[in-house]
Amino acid sequence: MSEQPLHRVTAEEYDNPGDRLERTLEQGNILLFEPGRLPLPSEEDLHFLRNEVGKLIKLKNISYHPHGDYISGMKNEGDAGEQVMRILREHSRTVNAFLGRMLPGYSASWSPRKVNFRPVQEKGRVIKRHSNNELLHVDAFPAGATHGWRPLRFFTNINPEEARIWRIAEEFRELYQAYGEAAGIAPAPALRQGLGERAWSGALRGLASLGLPQLQVVGDTSPYDRAMRRMHNWMKDNDDYQNDPDRGVKLSFEPFHSWCVFTDLVSHAALSGQHALVATYYVKPEACHLPERSPWKVLEQAGQAA
């Protein structure tokens, strides 16, 4: 982990980002954007999200999926579903434009994924352990295989009064060196899909293109994604790891600030906070400037050394 994991984007970087912000992310830092830089939903829409939508949630998050143009995770009562989809669709497009300008080397080939609204207070939330954001983890999703593409996530705190508190700890390389064996991924497995899995993934992509994107989200997997999921689950299951008082640092994200991080690289936890918007992108590995820092490369090199 960087000694100073929070990088406040400067006025010069807003005007001329180049590839500096991309390299900063790949070094294990979090980019912090000041309020006013990102256009937010209208106050009327924010009020609706904060005061009406929480009671409609039925999964961990309410999500808009740009591939397929649908929402999941909420009860569709009256016009509420259409209103939520409109707000999240517009936010997705706004973040695409804003972040595409700030990270031009990624945006030419990235894959925009779902946009989440998180209406529930993270602190003390009653939820399955592997879904609990209060516990340190690296992102590895139970659905929506990355195949080695990098999950880049852009968060915005839309709570007008309460900060969102995070805990930041090790980068993936440090995690793997210390705990890869305990997590069951040392020696590292072969990361490339076999013939059968490649055919399955290809079939799912075909079905997605025919109007069934949910099947690809739910059904796709890969050796790399399974290895990352084992690390994610081991971290959340291990009380000694989670309860170490010297592990990591706390960060406070104030109302209407936005921040961006490679969540496969930086271990993190959301200790408290309510009402956040989260946009996820899969970044093509070839677009990265420091590939040696990526979890794929860490696992690949470990497998070659075994």
Q: Are 193 and 222 in contact (CB under 8 A)?
A: yes
- pLDDT tens track for 133-152: 999 999 998 766 898 999 99
- pLDDT tens track for 65-94: 998 899 999 987 678 999 999 999 999 999
Give whole-number Cα distances, 163 to 218, 255, 272, in Å: 33, 6, 8
Q: Is 12 helix (H, G, I), strand (E, B) or coil?
A: helix
Q: In this structure, how many other beta carbons lie within 10 angstroms of the beta carbon of residue 247?
A: 15
What would the mean pLDDT of 278-299 be, rounded to a whole number?
Answer: 96
b vs e for 23-46, b when ≥16 Cβ sit within 10 Å of the residue's Cβ? Answer: ebbbbbbbbbbeeeebebbeeebb
Q: Are 295 and 172 in contact (CB under 8 A)?
A: yes
Q: What pLDDT, on the 0 to 100 scale, is given for residue 198?
A: 54
**Residue 204, pLDDT above cutoff 90:** no
Question: In order of start, what are the domains of the chain with their CATH numbers?
Answer: 6-185+221-305 (2.60.120)
- pLDDT tens track for 155-167: 999 999 999 999 9
Q: What pLDDT, on the 0 to 100 scale, is given for residue 16?
A: 94
- pLDDT tens track for 246-274: 999 999 999 999 999 999 999 999 999 99
**Residue 218, pLDDT above cutoff 60:** no
Q: What pLDDT, on the 0 to 100 scale, is given for residue 58?
A: 86
Q: Band of the pLDDT at 213, cuts 50, 70, 90?
A: low
Q: What pLDDT, on the 0 to 100 scale, is given for residue 219?
A: 47
**Residue 2, pLDDT above cutoff 60:** no
**Residue 287, pLDDT above cutoff 80:** yes
**Residue 115, pLDDT above cutoff 90:** yes
d(C-alpha 194, C-alpha 297), whole Å = 19
% of the chain residues with pLDDT over 70: 88
Q: Band of the pLDDT at 6, cuts 50, 70, 90?
A: very high
Whole-model pTM? 0.90
**Residue 192, pLDDT above cutoff 90:** no
